[in-house]
Structure 1
């Protein structure tokens, strides 16, 4: 029975070693591939659009939305006492 346990342990450690080695190789190859792709096919840098500035005097919130917000605030304050 001792020999059977020894063989099982050896098989388990061999399997774990093979999986670990495969994962190490996979990470190394993915890192190399990523570096090559970034070097030869760089992603173009998009220009950031300028943020829209609301004009003075113009309401940015529609009146019906403003009414709903005001009613919600009124109800919340009424509950708080």
Structure 2
């Protein structure tokens, strides 16, 4: 086998490999698109219901932050901004 035959065989193998990868990727895109459409048709996303007036105002509870914590956070923010110079 001389070098021209080797080059020809190498190019042939390269095109065969790249072609098979290209075909696989095209099939993958088509299958994922079809699955998305099928799932969207049979399992649609639930429609969000707007919250009423009662949900607009948060209620006081165990998750509230006390005044001391708020003042410590404010002081830390002021100190950080003073260091940055903004």
1:21 maps to: 23
Matched residues, number: 76
Structure 2 gap segments, 5+ residues each: none
TM-score (norm 2): 0.65
The structure-2 alpha-carbon separation of the partners of 1:78 and 1:46, relative to structure 1 and needing over 3 Å to count, comes to closer
Higher RCO (CA-CA < 8 Å; seq separation 6+): 1
Structure 1 gap segments, 5+ residues each: none
Aligned-pair Cα RMSD in Å: 2.9
Distance across 1 between alignment mates of 2:25 and 2:83: 61
TM-score (norm 1): 0.69
Distance across 2 between alignment mates of 1:26 and 1:3: 35
1:43-72, CA deviations, whole angstroms, 9 ceiling, x for partnerless residues?
Answer: 2224244553368xxxx7521112213433
- Greater Cα shift, 36-45 or 1-10: 36-45
1:53 aligns with 2:57: yes
1:66 maps to: 70
Q: Which runs of 4+ in 1 moved over 3 A?
A: 48-52, 74-80
Q: CA deviation at 1:19?
A: 0.5
Q: CA deviation at 1:41?
A: 1.8
